[in-house]
Amino acid sequence: QKEVEQNSGPLSVPEGAIASLNCTYSDRGSQSFFWYRQYSGKSPELIMFIYSNGDKEDGRFTAQLNKASQYVSLLIRDSQPSDSATYLCAVNRNGGFKTIFGAGTRLFVKA
């Protein structure tokens, strides 16, 4: 079992729709959770982080965390073609040095 698992996609949504990206992790001791966006050929760019169970909103993005289910998700409202990218989920145990990344979900937003 991979430490951080994501569906590789591609996930295809029409412009203006809500894109829902999911991630599961295996280490119950994980405390910090991150979502990065990575355009093709570029480096990962931090979108947001979440530490507590529940929802955290930032603009069109909402991160959701459920530690009991070891599940974290990212919702993108009013999806735009410019949101087309790979979204990486990353998990850190407790402020330590090792953050584990998933392989990412490719999102395609159709105009």
**Cα distances (angstroms) measured from residue 2 to each of 6, 10, 23, 53:** 9, 19, 11, 22
**Closest C-alpha among 12, 10, 41 to residue 111:** 12
Residue whose pair of structure tokens reads 């991150």 in the numeric block: 34
Q: Is 52 in the site for other proteins (CB under 8 A)?
A: no
User: Could you say which of 30, 104, 105, 107 contacts other proteins (CB under 8 A)?
Assistant: 104
Q: Is 28 in the site for other proteins (CB under 8 A)?
A: no
81 three-class SS:
helix
Closest approach of Cβ 95 to other proteins, in Å? 4
- Residue type, position 105, single letter: T
Closest approach of Cβ 16 to other proteins, in Å? 28
Please state the length of the chain.
111
Distance (Å, rounded) from C-alpha 87 to C-alpha 84? 9
Q: Is 97 in the site for other proteins (CB under 8 A)?
A: yes
Q: Is 58 in the site for other proteins (CB under 8 A)?
A: no
Q: Is 46 in the site for other proteins (CB under 8 A)?
A: yes
Q: Is 99 in the site for other proteins (CB under 8 A)?
A: yes
- Binding site residues, other proteins, CB under 8 A: 4, 8, 31-32, 34, 36, 41-46, 49, 51, 88, 90, 92, 94-104
